[in-house]
Amino acid sequence: MKLFTSMLFFVAIINFSAAQQLESFEENGKFGIKESVSGKVLAQAIYEEIHSYSEGLAIVAINGKYGFIDKAGKEVIAAQYAEANDFSEGLAAVSTDQKWGFINKSGAEVISFEYDECGSFSEGLALVMKNDYAGFIDKTGKVVIPLIYDYAMPFSQGLAVVEREGFTGLIDLKGDVVVPLRYVEIDEFSQGLAAINKDNKWGYINRQGEEVIKPEYDYAFPFAEGLGGVMIGDKGGYIDLQGNIQIPLLYDRLGIFANGASLVEQNGIQFYIDNKGNCVIKEGLTCPK
């Protein structure tokens, strides 16, 4: 898989909101929160980590434990958890040393600590794992989709990728199988299509599970701006949503299109191309001669 990615590590994450601009600051190796414009300190620099705000609360770490502060810098949920996820749909998954459960914004336990892993709520359901099996619960803690899968991803637009015995498919919010578990891998949907690996060849399916672009590539990337990167052997190019080749497979590495351009590499030289395959000068990179 030859895709340009950017790996960034943040110890403290700057957060901006429409109503109030906030930023983290460092002092003696610890982090706090202040107003961007006035410089007023809202949370003293006592934290080892400060994450970005989600639903009005930000994860903080102190003495190796995690809690939450609000936008006034007040610690509304004490740093007492071994791990914590951002709030989503009013609840946050947190863990003790051994098990995961869910708390509300008051810090009250609303779903008991009984799971080995928990994801965040998405579309009313949260992915949970116990004894190496995955399923989904609702906000009351009721198991809505049984823990029968070896692997699963959170719901997105009514569908979730699930895996069992080495094959993946898609289920809906009721747990009904929409796409049979017959693929080696299914990526997330983008522009109505998801890349799939069938017998080690890649193509695309639509949300009804139809193979609209047959698996014939050695790798396929998500669609963006109407174009999806595909590889045959060591060379890649771009196809459109109908499967037609729009940019020939000439490149050694591919990026994903954004703002009308994508980063590619050819013969060790990196440069940008537009959606017609023409080289464009961007971000200090020139066109190869």
* pTM recorded for the entire structure: 0.81
Q: Where are the domains of the chain?
A: 1-81
Alpha carbon distance 83, 263 (integer Å): 36
Confidence of residue 19 (pLDDT cuts 50, 70, 90): low
Confidence of residue 267 (pLDDT cuts 50, 70, 90): very high
Q: Which residue has the higher pLDDT, 289 or 204?
A: 204
- Residue 112 and residue 122 in contact, taking contact as beta carbons nearer than 8 Å: no
- Residue 265 and residue 253 in contact, taking contact as beta carbons nearer than 8 Å: yes
Strand order in the sheet with 41-47: 22-27, 30-35, 41-47
Alpha carbon distance 28, 45 (integer Å): 8
Give how far Cα 247 sits from Cα of 163, 169, 178, 279, Å: 33, 30, 33, 12
- Residue 163 and residue 202 in contact, taking contact as beta carbons nearer than 8 Å: no
SS (H, E, C) 97-125: CCCEEEECCCCCEEEEEEECEEEEEECCE
Mean pLDDT, residues 47-68 taken together: 96
Q: So what's the pLDDT on residue 289?
A: 82
Residue 228 burial (CB count, 10 A)? 28
Contacts of 14 (CB under 8 A, 6+ apart): 22, 23, 24, 52
Q: So what's the pLDDT on residue 15?
A: 44
| pLDDT 10s digits, 98-154 | 899 999 999 999 999 999 999 999 999 999 999 999 999 999 999 999 999 999 999
- Residue 187 and residue 222 in contact, taking contact as beta carbons nearer than 8 Å: yes
Contacts of 265 (CB under 8 A, 6+ apart): 4, 251, 252, 253, 271
Q: So what's the pLDDT on residue 3?
A: 41
Distance of CA 53 to the CA centre of its chain: 16
| pLDDT 10s digits, 211-224 | 999 999 999 999 99
Q: So what's the pLDDT on residue 14?
A: 44
Confidence of residue 20 (pLDDT cuts 50, 70, 90): low
Tracing tokens 């958890």 back to the chain, one arrives at 81
Alpha carbon distance 156, 180 (integer Å): 18
- Residue 92 and residue 119 in contact, taking contact as beta carbons nearer than 8 Å: no
| Mean pLDDT across the chain | 92
Model confidence at 2: pLDDT above 50 = no
SS (H, E, C) 148-170: EECEECCCECCEEEEEECCEEEE
Alpha carbon distance 171, 160 (integer Å): 5
- Residue 92 and residue 102 in contact, taking contact as beta carbons nearer than 8 Å: yes
- Residue 65 and residue 82 in contact, taking contact as beta carbons nearer than 8 Å: yes
| pLDDT 10s digits, 147-180 | 999 999 999 999 999 999 999 999 999 999 999 9
Q: Which residue has the higher pLDDT, 52 or 16?
A: 52
The architecture (CATH level 2) of 1-81 comes to: Beta Barrel (2.40)
The residues that bridge with 235 in the sheet, in sequence order, are 232
Provide the token pair at 51. Answer: 């994450």
Q: So what's the pLDDT on residue 1?
A: 36
Mean pLDDT, residues 4-11 taken together: 32
Confidence of residue 11 (pLDDT cuts 50, 70, 90): very low
| pLDDT 10s digits, 222-262 | 999 999 999 999 999 999 999 999 999 999 999 999 999 99
